[in-house]
């Protein structure tokens, strides 16, 4: 169709985002799923190595920014709704993430491109991921099952 090249054609828009801003995923009645609903039926624009959809960690004083690229196996599109399952992300502490959707990730079923969601956009969704990693024992005391150790 010629519509994607016409200036009067409207591009897909986000109409609803769940969970609410700054929700802690998997806690207090919040599921592990992010739902982004658009004003029309959507599809993945490409199915290559990278989905173009990721969670960008907020930079803090403890370490460099973390980025979790969402795999196609953790996402589905059901009509106008993009569903992203975050339950498989291994995160070592509570931190905030912005959902980023590049302009090459999604399009409307009529081939109308979605301009994406970038950090700083007014429709940006920020979520919190809690610590999802099991603790690791780093040291045993007393060593080698020693007995009569002074306390």
- Going by CATH, does the domain composed of 12-135 fall within 2.60.40.1220? yes
Domain range summary for the chain, segments of one domain joined by +? 12-135
CA torsion through residues 18, 21, 23, 26, sign: positive
4 vs 105: CA distance, rounded Å: 16
* Residue 127 · residue 25 · CB < 8 Å: yes
pLDDT tens for the chain, 151 residues: list them: 456 556 567 899 999 999 999 999 988 889 999 999 999 999 998 777 789 999 998 776 666 678 899 999 999 999 999 999 999 998 888 889 999 999 999 999 988 999 999 877 877 899 999 888 888 888 877 777 777 777 6
Q: Tell me the pTM.
A: 0.81
């Amino acid at each position: 169709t010629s519509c994607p090249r016409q200036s009067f054609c409207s591009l897909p828009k986000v109409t609803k985002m769940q969970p609410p801003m700054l929700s802690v995923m998997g806690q207090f009645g919040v599921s592990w799923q992010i739902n982004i609903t658009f004003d029309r039926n959507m599809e993945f624009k490409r199915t290559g190595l990278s989905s173009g959809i990721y969670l960008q960690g907020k930079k803090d004083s403890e370490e460099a920014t973390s980025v979790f690229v969402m795999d196609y196996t953790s996402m589905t599109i059901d009509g106008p709704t993009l569903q992203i399952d975050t339950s498989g992300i291994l995160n070592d502490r509570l931190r905030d993430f912005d959902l980023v959707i590049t302009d090459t990730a999604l399009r409307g079923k009529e081939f109308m491109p979605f301009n994406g969601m970038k950090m700083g956009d007014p429709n940006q969704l920020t979520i919190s991921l809690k610590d999802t990693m099991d603790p690791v024992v780093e040291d045993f005391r007393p060593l080698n099952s020693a007995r009569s150790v002074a306390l």
